[in-house]
Structure 1
């Protein structure tokens, strides 16, 4: 049995089995001491010797242009969209005003 504490789940099951079913008292005492050491290691928060960090999953991929350029591009697209809508509205208003002027001048000539 390895002395790396806290015990792995497989080693912990083996030690518990030995603590209950060992043929002689010395083996049972040794297994009970290992269980006590394991409980102390868990309670004291000692890090596992074989522990590996959990894999970190990124929620989104970083922009290939960088974080600063992404905001700039979004702002530039919003500005271009606003300018497009303003230009279309200006053209429509100008066209309507010209049509109204023509109708007014035609009505004056009647």
Structure 2
């Protein structure tokens, strides 16, 4: 009974649950962005980077530096659109499941 502690949650396949979470979060943000009525200057950047994140999630285990770069670009592009803040936070949380960025020491 205690053997299940610390195990990866079952998703019904061999898929990494972090990848499933990322895919879900990205899909939700893409849907909300698609129906958001306001146009803003960096909308195309956000759409392109969300497509990139979706492709990384579809391809299996993504490269963490690429995930973080895309997240930063999406956040910069739509960060001021408060209607999308919750879904953007969901994507950020999904990216963080892959680990914290390495800490760089100051010189």
**TM exceeding 0.5:** no
Name which one, 1 or 2, has greater alpha-carbon Rg.
Answer: 1
What is the TM-score normalised by the length of structure 2? 0.29
Which structure features the higher share of helix residues?
A: 1
What is the TM-score normalised by the length of structure 1? 0.29
